[in-house]
């Protein structure tokens, strides 16, 4: 089998509905939701950046498994704490799939970054190259399509996006964010909910307490995405929010490659915590300057590890 170069842990890739269920449970854990908490479908869809349909399917699946309860006209509520990273629990919930699917996902990502996959490719080629069954291949392609780095051609094959598959494109995305994110913090009426601040802090302390070394690339990426998007969402400006979400969706590939160097994450966490302190104190102008400096330093760090980002 064609093996990936990326050093990764289990990313939890599986059939589309179960993949969303696993991601939903991971979100519940990372957000610190407690038994009895409400899980609004639209909020879940926004956080996981998917439509309401897979969210509703995942909620129904977890309800059937006894993880959630459904109340008429109110929605779903958490009734059981679940560690989705625990293999035994994943198997009990029917979320475990062959490791071949996870390996194939990262192998495909790595091959694309190395320029070893053509821009347009057939499902037969992918199925053969990565030794997948038809259902396994559909699971991989479903996730790739959701993340925005490939789309199905009309009638035949798949086309990979050329966005954010080079070091320059990742750096360009940070320059865009440097222009937008500080400005979002200065929007009139900006308000970051204290509960959001608390959850963001908890996520940073988790990383500082060992998560930097133990979290999967998926988890590291999602934590960073949720932090920045939470701050931008507090602006209430839909144009800022939509733009940042689109950028975050398509920069995932290069983010995975950059995670081979995790030494910079401690500094990231400290900068994130400082940003939260400033926003909590209403010092938005200082926060905007700090955000600009934070993204600028990240940009410089990426420039230092260009050799990791290159094909």
Range in 4-13, 145-154, 226-235, 266-275 with the lowest mean pLDDT:
4-13
Q: What is the mean pLDDT of residues 151-179?
A: 79
- For the segment 73-122, what is each residue's pLDDT rounded down to a tens digit? 899 999 987 776 666 777 777 776 544 677 788 788 878 877 788 889 99
Asked if pLDDT for residue 12 goes beyond 80, the answer is: no
Q: What is the mean pLDDT of residues 243-255?
A: 75
Question: CB–CB of 133/29 below 8 Å?
Answer: no
pTM of the model: 0.63
Range in 22-31, 78-87, 222-231 with the lowest mean pLDDT:
78-87
Q: Dihedral through CA 59, CA 61, CA 62, CA 66, nearest 10?
A: 130
Tell me how far apart the alpha carbons of residues 170 and 299 are, in angstroms, rounded to a whole number.
Answer: 9
Angle at 142 between CA 137 and CA 146, to 5 degrees: 150
Q: Which residues contact 45 (CB under 8 A, 6 or more apart)?
A: 51, 52, 55
Q: What is the mean pLDDT of residues 8-30?
A: 63
Q: What is the mean pLDDT of residues 232-240?
A: 95
Q: What share of the chain is helix, strand, coil (3-state, %, to 5)?
A: 65, 5, 30
Question: CB–CB of 160/117 below 8 Å?
Answer: yes
Asked if pLDDT for residue 254 goes beyond 70, the answer is: no
Tell me how far apart the alpha carbons of residues 91 and 86 are, in angstroms, rounded to a whole number.
Answer: 9
The DSSP result for 126-137, as a single string, is HHHHTT--HHHH
Q: Which domains does the chain have, with CATH numbers?
A: 16-92 (1.10.10.10), 99-160 (1.10.10), 167-309 (1.20.120.530)
How confident is residue 7, by pLDDT bands cut at 50, 70 and 90?
A: very low
SS3 78: strand
b/e burial code for range 215-234 (CB count within 10 A of at least 16 → b)? bbbbbbbbbbbbbbbbbbbb
DSSP E strands, the chain: 38-39, 68-71, 75-78, 120-121, 150-152, 158-160
Q: What is the pLDDT of residue 133?
A: 86
Q: What is the mean pLDDT of residues 119-146?
A: 88
Range in 97-106, 214-223, 286-295 with the lowest mean pLDDT:
97-106
């Amino acid at each position: 089998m064609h093996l990936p170069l990326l050093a990764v842990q289990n990313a939890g890739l599986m059939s589309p509905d179960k993949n969303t269920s696993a991601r939903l449970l991971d979100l519940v854990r990372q957000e610190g939701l407690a038994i009895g908490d409400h899980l609004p479908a639209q909020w879940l869809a926004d956080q996981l950046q998917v439509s309401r349909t897979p969210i509703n399917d995942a909620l129904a699946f977890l309800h059937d498994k006894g993880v959630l309860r459904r109340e008429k006209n109110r929605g779903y509520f958490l009734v059981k704490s679940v560690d989705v990273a625990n293999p035994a629990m994943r198997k009990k919930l029917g979320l475990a799939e062959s490791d071949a699917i996870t390996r194939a996902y990262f192998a495909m990502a790595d091959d694309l970054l190395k320029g070893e996959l053509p821009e347009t490719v057939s499902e037969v080629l992918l199925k053969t190259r990565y030794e997948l069954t038809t259902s396994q291949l559909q699971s991989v392609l479903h996730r790739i399509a959701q993340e925005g780095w490939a789309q199905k051609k009309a009638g035949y094959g798949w086309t990979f996006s050329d966005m954010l598959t080079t070091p320059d494109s990742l750096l360009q995305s940070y320059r865009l964010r440097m222009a937008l994110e500080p400005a979002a913090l200065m929007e009139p009426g900006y308000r970051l909910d204290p509960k959001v601040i608390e959850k963001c802090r908890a996520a940073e302390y988790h990383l500082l307490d060992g998560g930097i070394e133990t979290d999967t690339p998926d988890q590291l990426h999602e934590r960073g995405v949720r932090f920045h998007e939470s701050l931008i969402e507090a602006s209430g400006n839909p144009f800022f929010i939509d733009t940042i979400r689109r950028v975050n969706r398509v920069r995932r590939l290069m983010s995975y490659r950059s995670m081979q160097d995790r030494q910079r994450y401690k500094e990231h966490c400290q900068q994130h915590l400082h940003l939260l302190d400033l926003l909590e104190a209403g010092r938005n102008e200082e926060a905007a300057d700090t955000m600009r400096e934070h993204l600028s330093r990240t940009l410089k760090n990426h420039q230092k590890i260009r050799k990791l980002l290159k094909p």
